[in-house]
């Protein structure tokens, strides 16, 4: 068996082929193209395993090897301490180290989702970019009006009819400001039209429609929350417990223990940032529509910390969505007996 370590970059791929005893058979640098990958695979031995570090280029390289009949292992970059701690840091040394970790069975492997899921996830993240740009243009519109001393209704500013009426009444504004306001409004409408189109295509996608519908059976879970969960989680079976799912979503703090003493810091940075932000925002609104989550929020509020109450709701939301996703059935709340004998609604 031979072991291949790949150090991925935008324009080049450094590779190192090692035997099972650690002897280097071949190492070189090739361009980051599909043709170069095909030539590399053709010259490799018959029996080999390969690994690479997870980067923004990992997806297409993983797919290129898969199309050629080989599956690469993908390593968690934050766990590759050996590369970061090395005295000599270069592409060749990184490729050698990845090959050694693979050869010794110490590679911190991460799971690659199916190609279709990764493609749909790219669409959803592009939609999030459009939403952020639309918010920036809305803030710029309000800023232009404030700089010109214009009074306006904040709650109705971005409605078409109100904005048109407001602009008709501001004939004294300089032409430069009027043109900028018009361009800002056009940009807002453009971004919002595109993002609605993308959301509609995702919701109606054959592989997502039923799953999203089941997740939306949980009161307080909307289209965007369900889509983000389905596409960022991928296969829910990869989580053996709710705690691991909560940790992946970044809703718990890192634990540090030494000498019998434990300490907790802020929320861990080792998380899926897209899921974390979505769940925190959803947890602020979900208690209005979901009696179970409202009970969790009120119970935590009695302890006096609103942020902790929001996090508690987000964790409970993860537990509900994971249960629905695993079972393949809609959410049905049940009543269980509490310690004091009262009824408590739970999933």
| Tens digits of pLDDT across the chain (347 residues) | 999 999 999 999 999 999 999 999 999 999 999 999 999 999 998 899 999 999 899 999 999 999 999 999 999 888 887 666 666 778 888 899 999 999 999 899 988 999 999 999 999 999 999 999 999 999 999 999 999 999 999 999 999 999 999 999 988 889 999 999 999 999 999 999 999 999 999 999 999 999 999 999 999 999 999 999 999 999 998 898 999 999 999 898 777 777 777 776 777 778 889 999 999 999 999 999 999 999 999 999 998 788 889 999 999 999 999 999 999 999 987 754 444 444 444 45
For residue 309, with 0-12 CB atoms within 10 Å meaning exposed, 13-18 middle and 19 or more buried, which class applies? buried
Does residue 217 contact residue 331 with C-beta atoms inside 8 Å? yes
Does residue 248 contact residue 237 with C-beta atoms inside 8 Å? no
Query: What pLDDT does residue 131 have?
Result: 95
Show the CA angle centred on residue 99, arms to residues 95 and 101, nearest 5°: 115
Does residue 324 contact residue 215 with C-beta atoms inside 8 Å? yes
pTM (two decimals): 0.85
For residue 337, with 0-12 CB atoms within 10 Å meaning exposed, 13-18 middle and 19 or more buried, which class applies? exposed
Query: What pLDDT does residue 269 have?
Result: 78
For residue 322, with 0-12 CB atoms within 10 Å meaning exposed, 13-18 middle and 19 or more buried, which class applies? buried
Distance CA 188, CA 137 (A): 6
Q: Tell me the torsion sign for CA atoms 283, 264, 80, 245.
A: negative
């Amino acid at each position: 068996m031979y072991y291949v370590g790949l150090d991925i970059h935008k324009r080049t791929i450094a590779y190192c082929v090692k035997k099972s005893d650690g002897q280097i058979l071949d190492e070189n640098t090739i361009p980051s193209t599909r043709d170069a990958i095909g030539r590399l695979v053709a010259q490799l031995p018959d029996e080999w395993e390969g690994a690479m570090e997870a980067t923004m280029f990992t997806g297409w390289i993983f797919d290129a090897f898969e199309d050629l009949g080989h599956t690469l292992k993908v390593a968690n970059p934050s766990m590759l301490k050996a590369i970061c701690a090395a005295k000599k840091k270069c592409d060749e040394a990184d490729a050698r180290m990845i090959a050694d970790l693979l050869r010794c069975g110490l590679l911190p492997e991460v799971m690659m989702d199916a190609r279709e899921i990764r493609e749909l996830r790219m669409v959803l993240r592009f939609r999030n970019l459009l939403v952020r740009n639309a918010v920036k243009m809305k803030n710029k519109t309000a800023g232009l009006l404030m700089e010109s001393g214009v009074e306006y209704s904040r709650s109705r500013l971005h409605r078409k009819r109100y904005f048109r009426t407001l602009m008709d009444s501001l004939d004294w504004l300089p032409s430069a400001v009027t043109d900028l306001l018009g361009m800002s409004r056009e940009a807002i409408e453009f971004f919002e039209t595109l993002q609605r189109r993308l959301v509609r295509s995702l919701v109606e996608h054959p592989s997502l429609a039923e799953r999203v519908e089941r997740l939306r059976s949980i009161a307080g879970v909307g289209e965007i929350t369900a889509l983000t969960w389905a596409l960022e989680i991928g296969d829910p079976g990869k989580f053996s417990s709710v705690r691991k799912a909560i940790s992946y979503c970044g809703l718990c703090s890192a634990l540090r223990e030494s000498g019998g003493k434990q300490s907790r810091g802020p929320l861990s940075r080792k998380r899926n940032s897209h899921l974390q932000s979505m769940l925190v925002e959803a947890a602020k609104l979900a208690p209005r529509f979901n009696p179970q989550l409202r009970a969790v929020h009120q119970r935590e509020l009695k302890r006096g910390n609103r942020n902790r109450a929001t996090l508690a709701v987000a964790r409970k939301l993860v537990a509900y969505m994971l249960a629905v996703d695993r079972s393949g059935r809609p959410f049905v709340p049940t009543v269980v007996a509490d310690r004091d004998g009262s009824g408590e609604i739970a999933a």
